[in-house]
Amino acid sequence: MNKLVLILIAILLPPLAVFLKHKAGKDLIINIVLCLFFYVPGILHALWLVTR
């Protein structure tokens, strides 16, 4: 998948971007928890995982 598309998805729906990049696993669980508490840390975590 195109990296630019993944970055846009990471901004709009962070858990979906993490799932598309890394499938189900600990990274997805961490991102869902971050998004439930505060949305911005979930976005930052997703962007970090997508761009590294």
Low-confidence residues in the chain, pLDDT < 50: none
* Per-residue model confidence (pLDDT) at position 47: 93
What DSSP assignment string belongs to 3-25? HHHHHHHHHH-HHHHHHHHH-SS
Specify the amino acid at residue 27: D
With 0-12 / 13-18 / 19 or more C-beta atoms within 10 angstroms meaning exposed / middle / buried, residue 1 is exposed
pLDDT at position 48, please?
94
pLDDT of residue 40: 92
Tokens of residue 24, six digits: 């189900």
Give phi and psi for 42, each to the nearest 5. -65, -40
